[in-house]
Structure 1
Amino acid sequence: MTIRFSAPDSGTAPLTWGQRAIWEAVERTAPDDHYFNFGRVLKVPGTRTVAEVTVALTALVERHGSLRTLLADPVGQRLEATGRMPVEVTTGDPDKVMAELAATRFDYHAEWPLRVALVLDGDTVTHVVLVFCHLATDGLGSDVALRDLRTLLLRGRVSGPPAPRPLDLAHWQAGPQGRQVADAAAAHWADEHARMPDTMFAGPSGDPADPPIRRALLRSPALQLATRAVALANRTSTSTVLLAATATLAGRCSGSGRCAMLPIVGNRFRRDTLGIVSTLSQEGLFTLDVDGDFPDVLRAAAPAAMRAYRSAYHDPADRARIVRDESDRRGTAVHPNCCFNDMRFADPGPAACAPADLDAALPATALEWQMSQDKLNCRFCVHVTTEGVSLTADTRHLSSDAIERYLYALEDLLVEAARR
């Protein structure tokens, strides 16, 4: 079936900084760019018919312009006021339906950046499955969309002012205030590029897989307990602990005493971005001296992380210029090729943990291989989720065995730090 939407606004604009950043990643990963698709499942409150749910979905698409925005040529965004969006109706398992909808790349110029399925039990819709194109929104933006859809199902409307528009954000970023913010971020990128290593994981692994990109997930209750205990002892966040530990081991694996890493940052710190459904997340630049004991490295990580988070709200054109100039100066390509993405919607916070608790949790550690593909825009990317910690890597630079060893070493490092 289809839903028909008719909104009062349309228009064109350049891509926002976040949209440009993800578009560059998509171009480097194509045709395997379905990697960036992601989905959410909403359990429908109460008893709702297909007609009632489609009314709410229509209102959602009309409220959030990014869900009816297409890629324009030359590269920009085109907001459409009217159109029809296909909706799949199924009785399948919601998680499997989500995986199926996310398995193919979007047609960025012609396909709406939202795929929808309704899961039925008889005449009642039990779940709404939404799969997002990453050019339209990021994880935190999808959370806004789910919250608004649930409100529309319960109340029929979302109170308050209209939702912020990516078009308006793009124009602000291109104006004098946006330029001032971009200049400050560019100064950080330039300073750090002047003293960072050329790249991480530069050498060949000697044992590439086919296809070369592989991902392993470590499910480790002990790692989670240890991370919270180390955060408590050092008065910092669990995200900072994991970032510091990831960087420490990345430096050791690369044979570099200084690690350069690109943490993915949400960039939702301005009032006009809190309720926006759009891609705001971008890479910051995090550099850290990782020689020495881990407690010393961790103490230096918190201010370095703060500088990196500020640098994430940047104009990708400035970054490209800085990278090009530094690469020309050195006579070799300069790029970390090393990412960190804490995808949890909330930090669980510091908490005490006794050594006996760690001992009891360690036998539950398990590693599973989740995916493989031909191309990725990065050599090494750690993802933190509520499931565990995963590492997606190019096995031409970090073999499958090395991926496995890295994840277990991460657990060992943090468990040992928690014991101390």
Structure 2
Amino acid sequence: MEMQTLEKIIDIALKNGAEQADIVVDAGESIGVKAEGGEISSYEVSGSQVLGLRVIKDNKIGSSYCEATDDETIEVLVKQALDNAKFSKEEELEKIEVQRKEIMDGTRDFKYDSDRARPEELIDMALRIERDLMAKDKNLKTPPYNGVGEYIDQRLYLNHLGTKCIEKSKAYACYTAALLERDNKQSMYVHQSLSRKLADLSPDDCINISYEHANGLIEGTALKTGHYDIVFSTDKLAQFLNVFSTLFSAKSAINDMNPWKNKLNESVASDFLTITDAPLLERGFAYSLFDGEGNTTSDTTLIENGVLKNFYHNSYTSKKLGHENTFNATRSPKSSLGVGGTNKLIKPVESDDSSFDKGTYFEIISEQGMYSGSDAISGDFSFAASGYLVENGQRVRPIKGVTVSGNFYQVIKEISNIGHNVQSNTSATFFSPLIRFSSLSVAGE
């Protein structure tokens, strides 16, 4: 979408009575290829573009969105935003204030192949992944999920003060599901590879890791009920912490939905734990040079040596609570101003990972019901889990059919150690060494 068109919309909004205005545009296009039974079952090319307008008049905020930019649609867009403002409550602290003369271009060369992927490349990869996976074991069934995709995204921000921001990104993904049936038992595991360049995708990882865990867990049995140290896989650790991510939200603190509301600069976790939000981490796929208000982003320390240091803030929440703005504003074309994070980075502690070779722990690589079985207010959680019992660094038996439960606020204080080697989750937005949580309740045999 042309900046000239967006400037025109801002001008129309101001001429019709808006005192302040800004626009967010999210646009994307993708190619998705799926293979099933040795044939391409789906080849989809899609694109989308959504424009969101926010106006402020008489300290009241109104918004509206559209997917086209012809003159008639623009007229309706502006009218709806101004009409919606009439019926909103007054909010003196929400302002559009970022002013910058030069265009901020957050696009980085590391995000791109110079050319688009050829359809034949995507098709060949999808077919090969399925073929090579099925060749590993005669007991494998046709994978229910198997494909390759190319994804291109663009975000634009523009306001009435002349601030203009643009950011583009490109990603490739391949994935497969190993579905194994043997002796009337069934096991499935899905693995994905994600990269910014097609040549960096690892279809072999998808094949080998999905089969490794499907095969490894098929003979799984329950642990004896008791208390066990827990080590989550990086994917599951990211998910576990995300369940309770509202603890870092200034907006939830304002709404009295954050149990850590009055805990700033107090110890809330083990003193081993340091968590940073890192929007400029180049290997992170939540990389972003600007936030939802057009501010330049920077690292935000959330927890430092167990002490809560910051919430996620935008300009409104920082004024409301009297805190520093962390430039973590979020806003999609269809949503109001909010707060949120980008890439999470957990600081290593140990000089190496040899400490994880001592003793016994339950390694969780799969779960069911983690979100539905958790309460972010009380901190209580309960979910079904599968993985491996590890003794002295070796997986000694597969585990499934157990339920892990506890309280997040207690568990996060009872970390026995944090490793050295930082690993990424499969979406490349969470980076952490191994973390060992002490003595969680596991219900099994």
TM-score bracket for this pair, using the shorter chain length: under 0.3
- More helix by percentage: 1
When Rg is computed on C-alpha atoms for both structures, the one with the higher figure is 2
Question: TM-score, normalising length from structure 2?
Answer: 0.24
Question: TM-score, normalising length from structure 1?
Answer: 0.25
